[in-house]
């Protein structure tokens, strides 16, 4: 009798048991929604602290108002009106922040001011743009 | 013609021991002639089953997060999306909705409906919970400096004033490391973009 005709099958039951347990464990502990976070350092950002800017140092801040976004470079303000309602003009805001990055390559901090009626999602959108442009220290004004 | 009988003009053949059909039912014939022996072994082919499980296990392992997800996100809470964020670490979690403020899934305060009536100092239950958590962390790691890091998750459509009020409370209680929980932004695929065009 040749070896191929011996009729001995591999017992697959333990494999199936192992795989079943593994699949159940992985499904039960799986994370289906990936969460991330944006960090802010509020110690230097509250307006109550009101840090005195150093001489000749440009302070960059972005103010979200109900109808527009104002980019303030020391005392020079640039207004970017919303597209409609609270819908931000993301392209123009992004372009302006990237211009800041090119003009102030050593600058790392930007302060974010918001009116009380601004949506939280819009604040995070601008926050994300600022971090994406290369300003890692974003302060949120809580006043 | 050994099978022919009689002298009739019609030829009658003696049938064979069985009638052979067009398609020989080998298994059936074997069972009929086996005289009650029912030792027919029917093997289920498990190879596709194993293949399926292997693919499923590989997929799940690839998508498995070893960091562990400890945050509870309520059904009616839609987190804002961000593109340049970093992975969310496990820290005390504050959930803010327009109805309530939750600290580690425990209700610690309630937001009032009217923004004008917000009282920045009026969150006693949140303050108490933060003080307790601070003492707990300091007792747990007495040799380490208290960093006061906390995660905030809030619905993207609520007003920022709710967030500000909680942030002010956090700062005054010494919790200055504030992280905003977001979902990872996934840019639309090329096919979706083409369909929209």
What tens digit of pLDDT does each residue of A86-116 get? 888 889 999 999 998 888 888 888 989 999 8
CA distance A18 to chain B (A): 10
CA distance A117 to chain B (A): 5
Res B96: pLDDT: 85
Res A123: pLDDT: 92
* pLDDT(A20) > 70: yes
* pLDDT(A44) > 50: no
Res B77: pLDDT: 81
Q: Are A93 and A69 in contact (CB under 8 A)?
A: yes
Contact yes or no for A42 and B176 at CB 8 A: yes
Residues of chain B with Cβ-Cβ distance to A33 below 8 Å are 73, 183
* pLDDT(B145) > 70: yes
In A3-136, DSSP assigns E strands to: 35-41, 60-64, 68-73, 76-81, 109-114
Question: For chain A, which residues lie within 8 Å of any Cβ of chain B, measuring from their own Cβ?
Answer: 9, 12, 15-16, 19-20, 22-23, 26-27, 29-31, 33-43, 46, 64, 114-121, 123-125, 127-128, 131-132, 140, 142-143
Q: Determine the residue among B119, B178, B181, B187 to mutate to test chain A binding: the one whose Cβ has the most chain A Cβ atoms within 10 Å.
A: B178
Mean pLDDT, chain B, rounded, equals: 73
Residues of chain B with Cβ-Cβ distance to A121 below 8 Å are 80, 156-157
CA distance B33 to chain A (A): 23
Res A7: pLDDT: 59
Q: At what angle do helices B160-172 and B124-140 cross, to 10 degrees?
A: 50
CA distance B64 to chain A (A): 6
Prediction ipTM score: 0.71
Percent of chain B with pLDDT over 90: 0
Question: How many angstroms separate the CA atoms of B134 and B142, rounded?
Answer: 11
State the fold for domain A42-140.
Nucleotidyltransferase; domain 5 (3.30.420)
Tell me what the mean pLDDT of segment A123-141 comes to: 90
SS3 A5: helix
Q: Which residue of B has its CA nearest to A49?
A: B171
SS3 B43: coil
Percent of chain B with pLDDT over 70: 59
The residue extents of the domains of chain B are 81-184
Residues of chain B with Cβ-Cβ distance to A116 below 8 Å are 115, 159-161, 164
Res B19: pLDDT: 59
Q: Are A66 and A122 in contact (CB under 8 A)?
A: no
Q: Determine the residue among B101, B119, B155, B182 to mutate to test chain A binding: the one whose Cβ has the most chain A Cβ atoms within 10 Å.
A: B182
Res B67: pLDDT: 54
Residues of chain B with Cβ-Cβ distance to A36 below 8 Å are 82, 85-88, 181-184
pLDDT in tens, A1-15: 444 455 567 787 888
Question: How many angstroms separate the CA atoms of A47 and B32, rounded?
Answer: 95
Contact yes or no for A36 and B87 at CB 8 A: yes
In chain B, DSSP assigns E strands to: 81-82, 86-87, 93-96, 101-103, 106-109, 149-154, 177-184
Closest C-alpha to B148, from A76, A40, A22: A40
CA distance B70 to chain A (A): 10
Q: Are A139 and A45 in contact (CB under 8 A)?
A: yes
């Amino acid at each position: 009798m040749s070896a191929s005709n011996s009729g001995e099958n591999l017992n697959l039951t333990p494999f199936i048991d192992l795989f079943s347990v593994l699949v159940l464990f992985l499904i039960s502990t799986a994370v289906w929604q990936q969460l991330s976070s944006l960090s802010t350092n509020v110690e230097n950002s509250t307006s109550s602290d009101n840090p005195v800017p150093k001489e000749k140092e440009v302070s960059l801040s972005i103010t979200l108002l109900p109808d527009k976004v104002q980019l303030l470079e020391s005392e020079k303000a640039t207004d970017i009106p919303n597209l409609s309602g609270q819908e931000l003009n993301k392209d123009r805001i992004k372009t302006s922040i990237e211009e800041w990055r090119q003009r102030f390559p050593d600058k790392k901090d930007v302060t974010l001011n918001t009116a009380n009626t601004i949506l939280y999602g819009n604040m995070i959108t601008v926050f994300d743009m600022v971090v994406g442009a290369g300003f890692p220290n974003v302060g949120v004004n809580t006043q | 013609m050994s099978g022919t009988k009689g002298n009739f003009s019609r030829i009658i053949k003696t049938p064979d021991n069985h009638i052979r059909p067009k398609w020989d039912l080998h298994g059936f014939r074997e069972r009929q002639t086996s005289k009650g022996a029912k030792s027919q072994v029917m093997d289920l082919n498990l190879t596709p089953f194993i293949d399926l499980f292997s693919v499923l296990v590989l997929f799940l392992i690839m998508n498995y997060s070893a960091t562990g997800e400890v945050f509870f996100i309520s059904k009616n809470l839609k987190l804002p999306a961000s593109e340049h964020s970093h992975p969310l670490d496990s820290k005390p979690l504050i959930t803010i909705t327009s109805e309530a403020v939750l600290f580690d899934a425990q209700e610690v305060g309630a937001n009032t409906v009217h923004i004008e009536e917000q009282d920045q100092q009026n969150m006693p239950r949140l303050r108490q919970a933060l003080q307790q958590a601070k003492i707990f962390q300091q007792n747990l790691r007495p040799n380490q400096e208290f960093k006061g890091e906390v995660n905030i998750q809030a619905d993207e459509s609520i007003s920022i004033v709710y967030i500000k009020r909680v942030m002010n409370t956090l700062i005054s209680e010494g919790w200055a490391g504030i992280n905003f929980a977001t979902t990872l932004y996934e840019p639309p695929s090329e096919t979706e973009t083409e369909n929209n065009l």
